[in-house]
Amino acid sequence: MTIEIVRATLDDLPAIQALSNDIFEIELTICPELIRDWPYSPNGERYFRDWIENHFFLVAKDNGKTIGYLSAKFDMGLIHINGTCAEIENVSVRESYRNQGIGRRLFEAFKTECRKHDISSIKIKFLTENEQAAKAYEAWGLKPWATVFNFDL
């Protein structure tokens, strides 16, 4: 296994959509309001194209095959916080590659990039019930910071 972490290109789009759909399948069990197969929809494709072209988007590749990704944005402009903040939008690793440090490598590469941009903190939001994600993020050194409540109308 030869894992390479690189910036995503539009050539990675189909694999990114598939990885994102894997996340949706997990999260649909937690949040049935999600739209099944949304990553493959015109809105989903437009969303990922925008993120690849206009934000920070890394992919993990094993011998050229895209097996994971991390998308994020810099400087959220939180005026009530000292320093600048980056927010991870999504992280996904193909199931057969999980628990092998791929997500951590994506996160470490992102941290390196954040340091180049003088970012002082990194945030990520995820569904509370996604215990697998919580364990990974805690193992990477992230700590709980805020709680978001939701009310469906």
CA-only gyration radius of the chain, Å:
15
Encode pLDDT of 28-63 as tens digits. Answer: 888 888 888 999 999 999 999 999 999 999 999 999
User: What is the C-alpha separation between 144 and 118, in angstroms, rounded?
Assistant: 22
Domain spans in the chain, listed from the N-terminal domain onward: 3-139
The answer as to CATH 3.20.20.80 being correct for domain 3-139 is no
For 87-131, what is each residue's pLDDT tens digit? Answer: 898 899 999 999 999 999 999 999 999 998 888 888 888 877 778
Q: What is the pLDDT of residues 54-96, one digit of tens each?
A: 999 999 999 999 999 999 988 655 555 566 888 898 899 999 9
- Residue 99 and residue 64: Cα distance in Å, rounded? 20
- At 144, give phi and psi (nearest 5°): -55, 140
